[in-house]
Chains A and B, each alone.
Chain A
Amino acid sequence: MNALIRGMVVLSTLLIGMLVTVGHLPRGVPDWVGLLRPEWMVLVCFYWAIELPERIGLVGVWLCGTLVDVLVGDAIGTNGACLAAVSLAGWKLQPRVRLYSPFQEVALVFAMCLGVLLIKAFIDNLLNGVAYSPYIVFNAVCTGLWWIPLYRVLGRVKASFYIR
């Protein structure tokens, strides 16, 4: 399997991450279900940053984040900067994360996601006067809990396509 296909697979996971970030729940599903939605792009970018640190570039991640900004209507640069920071953290912590227990990994993802959400809330507060919401913490907890299943799914994808 050539490098192009493997690259396309990684890009597809990022694209799917964007789709589920933007996708709306079907009509009739209660609003609170939306609260269980994690920060998909944070999870996907962090995964590839720790698994393929030499392949995922800051510029690429930033561009993905900018696309997310346009899709969800955030101020341009918000998600780009946040995802770049997450990827940077992934690269720096990559040797250590491999030795972490699942619980430590979840705690790390929670802390990182909380940081990202606080930055976004700060920007939203600064630009639009939106008050800080306690849902931020809940959202970060959900993102942390989604880490283990997502890690396994992406691990399968990585193994199936021999991505190294």
Chain B
Amino acid sequence: MLDPLKVGFSVIASPIQSIAEAPYFVTDLLIEFFASRNKMQEKNSNLEGEIRRLSYSSQRLAAIEAENIRLRELLGSRARLSEDVLVAEIVGIDPNNQRREVVVDKGKGDGVRVRQAVIDAEGLFGQIIATGQSNARVLMVSDPRHAIPIEIVRSGFRSIAVGTGRNDRLDLEYVSTTADLRKGDLLVSSGLGGRFPRGYPVGEVQSVDIDPARSYADAYASIRAQLDTSRHVLILFEGATP
């Protein structure tokens, strides 16, 4: 009901947001500008290495994808579409300590809609919760209001990872004391609930504390996505595959 009001105010709010975030980006620019030559060379060589590694991985993935499509055809199921993503830059960060939200520079005008999943280079980043004409608000996985259905790659055990307000930790809910879960296990989105596509890395199990006197174990995981440092994120459209 209040959406038109919100849209109207967001037109006025947009320049204020840009000005408010200016010091943040100016600091970034200054840090980059004054970075030493050696540091840049080191970064460059690391990036070249990363490119080679990714190129190798993408070649392998292409072969696996082709095989996957063939197998799906054999099974008679429709092949999933190739990656359908939109690159967005983070232009604002909510300074509220109780929340973990960022604003990205793509909005309704670019086809972005509420509930779309957002990832960065490392893993699942969050989801779109509000859209303006040229920007959108992303709720990060670490926000206490955020929960995501996950599964453990090794055992297939399913749980729900809930944000804690800290950018390095997710709490795992409803982990039974007999669950097959151990430190270092990789968590990926399970796709249950339909909000997030299946198979995107979310984090790694850091601790499992089993108390036989309680119904559920206390377990928490780290977050794969670089929530503090990522500048660019990918907004996933229906049909995107990990």
Contacts and interface: CB of A to CB of B under 8 A. Distances in A.
A2 interface: no
Contact of B16 (A18, A77, A129, A133): A18
Interface residues of B, number: 32
Contacts of A130: 98, 144-145
A27 B17 contact: no
B138 to A, nearest CB: 10
Interface in B1-33: 2, 5-6, 9-10, 12-13, 16-17, 19-21, 23-24, 27-28, 31
Interface residues of A, number: 32
Contacts of B93: 24
A67 interface: yes
A71 B16 contact: yes
A19 B15 CA distance: 10
Interface string A59-73: 000000011011111
Contacts of B9: 66-67, 69-70
B145 A128 contact: yes
A35 B99 CA distance: 12
A142 to B, nearest CB: 11
A23 interface: yes
A22 B24 contact: no
B97 A24 contact: no
Contacts of A34: 95, 97
A18 B18 CA distance: 12
Contacts of A69: 9
Given A22-B17, A26-B24, A70 B145 contact: no
A128 B129 CA distance: 12
Nearest to B27: A26
A135 B95 CA distance: 14
Given A35-B97, A73-B101, A19 B92 contact: no
A67 B96 CA distance: 16
Contacts of A15: 16
B95 A24 contact: yes
A15 to B, nearest CB: 7
Contact of B130 (A20, A31, A73): A73
A19 B99 CA distance: 18
Contacts of B137: 73
B145 A19 contact: no
A22 B102 CA distance: 11
Give the one of B17, B21, B31, B229 with max A CB within 10 A: B17
A117 to B, nearest CB: 10
B94 interface: yes
A21 B125 CA distance: 24
Interface in A117-136: 124, 128-131, 133, 135
A34 B92 CA distance: 15
Given A24-B23, A73-B101, 9 more contacts: A15-B16, A22-B21, A23-B23, A24-B93, A27-B229, A70-B9, A73-B129, A77-B2, A135-B98
Which 7 pairs between the two chains have the least Cβ-Cβ distance? A26-B27, A23-B20, A22-B20, A70-B9, A24-B93, A128-B145, A70-B13
5 contacts: A21-B95, A67-B9, A70-B12, A71-B16, A128-B145
